[in-house]
With several copies, the nearest count.
Chain A
């Protein structure tokens, strides 16, 4: 089986879809000739042409707006927003249009647009290259929100997203583009090549949108996480020698509540981990859902480990990031709580 990092896996997904479906087009800043600032679209313009892999002006609103129009005209656009921090100029087209077109036309019009965008910190990017704005988009109805944690899932989910007739916001945790990261900044970087999820079939396959993945089974506590935090949670569970069940949500909306329910009913404890700011973030929904669904099984309050409610700082990024240490302490806390 070929080994791929996440960038290569995403590239492979788009390559396959450009090849299988001539209605698939890519549009975004620097994605064409250059192949993208993270190289996710490397080589695709050469292979499929300038009218299939399109370099766009620096106007996120124009990228999303024109992608909607293309979608309405039968194409399946995959738009790249260069950093998730720059998605906001496209917010109106996403929120007011993309998410609601099918509803407001009773299904007569829809735009099967996928929006790919790298998110998350830990790369010394400061407050404008580190954000995780998923909590804004999970609040919308009419779009699906996905965030993979490894190359294998990334490819299967991206293909599923492109094939999906609903719009999908596809967040790519850039910290783990090249290798898994367990939340210990001082350890040397490791590549995906030694990781089992770095084994990626070169052919077409999909991972269904809407299904979480139990990446570690356990009895003592349920850890809900996604993206980079999956690796941090796994490392913390191991370091603390806790029998934790780690659920990689993969799709944030619609949420796979059933998988969560089964786990928390078994463990009775739950820790929610994400990198985004805490207040009114996506972790709040997870906590709210868990207490609604599993109230009578809960033995302790659901704890959240998240970015602080400040912008992402350049200097103290490892105090901001939910590191292995922070997650480990939360595990200890939740287990000590009666």
Chain B
């Protein structure tokens, strides 16, 4: 290596000790991006949907521009409630992890709008293929918090029967697919689900979410290609929360182009949206869903947001980013922004908010109590360990029956010895 290395390494914005620097995030004024008809052909869709940012709430919390979804107060209140439920659920579960009650957890703080607004903009029959940071989807579709907690506890009521780590939920009746530990695998699955809907002539659509880091996986490409070729009725979301564990979004390929720009290269429209603006996420999802449902094809939505907390309970972000970043994040907090908007228009008040927080706090606590009654990691009722061998196949094959027998034999032997 005689000469000077010249491999380009995407620079991180602010390492520990440095001042936060979000100057790389292009933010346009709310309301400035045009809203084409959802059935517009790709070529006629303006580039500003990719390079600028769909934003509805202006700095004074008023909705502006063509993307305003004009939701009525009840819808806004539902959205606020679901976001708060998500946040307080997260906070509770993190505490439970700190107390050793669950083995692992992942929060979504700061990203609640991405899930909640999308879930509300879609129909109940639409099938959702989430990543691990979309608990807001479950909550917005009316999932009992205790059900989610049961999963995290691997207790006797766990819908996964103890087979998955905490947060790897699924909900068949709620049309929410199973979360995989392997990143991005849900993306082509969502496309396949949507293809099947089109094959069957049904008008339910699919939607899926991945992180910006996960967009580097092969399955992103598979999903985009198949969605484009078959014009699958699917909404593909990239949640760009700036980080993939310790690496900055530049490491995933976001340095020179927004992730939304990947879409048009495949023949798929892209939308870059302010992911902390509840109304903007709602509007973008509605646009994409209308397009998909009508058979006009898929849409790629990049949600620009920020992962306020650690990646997971195994992570410590102070090792790799400036501690002051969360406060410096220029797009604010989705809960605070929606709240301010509602208060401004007389649809909400500080006192109602406080009451709601108290109510949800209570709701979370009693859900936890209920969940614990189905067992905790330490105390029963426990799952039946024979379950370990179920569901590998529909019917248990001989060798698994034998292995189950061996397991019990070892137990008996252990008791004797």
Contacts and interface: CB of A to CB of B under 8 A. Distances in A.
Q: Do A and B interact directly, with beta carbons closer than 8 Å?
A: yes
Interface of A: 22-23, 25, 29-30, 32-35, 37, 49-52, 54-62, 65-75, 77, 85-86, 88-89, 92-93, 96-97, 101-110, 124-129, 141-142, 144, 165-166, 210, 254-255, 257-258, 278-279, 308-311, 313-316, 319-320, 325-326, 328-329, 332
A319 B154 CA distance: 15
Contacts of A35: 319
Nearest to B384: A316
Contact of B163 (A86, A110, A314): A314
Contact of A85 (B182, B192, B253, B394): B182
Contacts of A68: 188-189, 192
B194 A33 contact: no
Nearest to B383: A315
B392 A102 contact: yes
A108 B170 contact: yes
Contacts of B183: 58, 86
Contacts of B192: 65-73, 77
Given A70-B193, A70-B195, 14 more contacts: A30-B245, A51-B9, A57-B225, A61-B188, A71-B192, A73-B196, A96-B182, A106-B390, A107-B390, A165-B394, A257-B398, A314-B162, A315-B383, A316-B162
B217 A309 contact: no
B388 A128 contact: no
Nearest to A67: B192
A54 B192 CA distance: 12
Interface string B281-296: 0000000000000000
A57 B407 contact: no
A314 B399 contact: no
Contacts of A126: 163-165, 168, 181
B314 A37 contact: yes
B391 to A, nearest CB: 5
Give the contact-size bracket for chain B: 35 or more
B221 interface: yes
A294 B414 CA distance: 27
A329 B225 CA distance: 51
A94 B193 CA distance: 16
Contacts of B158: 106, 315
Interface of B: 1, 5, 7, 9, 12, 15, 103-104, 127, 129, 154, 158-166, 168, 170, 172, 177-178, 180-183, 185, 187-200, 206, 213-214, 216-219, 221-223, 225-226, 229-230, 244-247, 251-253, 314, 319-320, 382-383, 385, 387-394, 397-400, 403, 407, 409-410, 413-414, 417
Contact of B399 (A67, A257, A319): A257
A72 B192 CA distance: 9
Contacts, number: 281
Contacts of B392: 102-103, 141-142, 309-311
Given A70-B195, A107-B391, A325 B414 contact: yes
Contact of B193 (A32, A59, A69, A258): A69
A22 B1 contact: yes
Contacts of A29: 244-245, 247
A308 B163 CA distance: 14
Nearest to B179: A104
A30 B193 contact: no
27 contacts: A29-B244, A30-B246, A51-B5, A51-B7, A51-B198, A55-B247, A55-B251, A57-B213, A58-B244, A60-B217, A62-B225, A65-B185, A70-B196, A70-B199, A101-B178, A103-B163, A104-B164, A104-B168, A127-B164, A128-B180, A144-B393, A278-B403, A308-B400, A309-B392, A313-B162, A326-B410, A329-B414
B396 to A, nearest CB: 10
Contacts of B127: 72-73
> Which of B12, B223, B388 has the most chain A CB atoms closer than 10 A to its own CB?
B388
Determine which residue in A141, A165, A313 has the highest number of CB atoms from chain B within 10 A of its CB, and name it.
A313
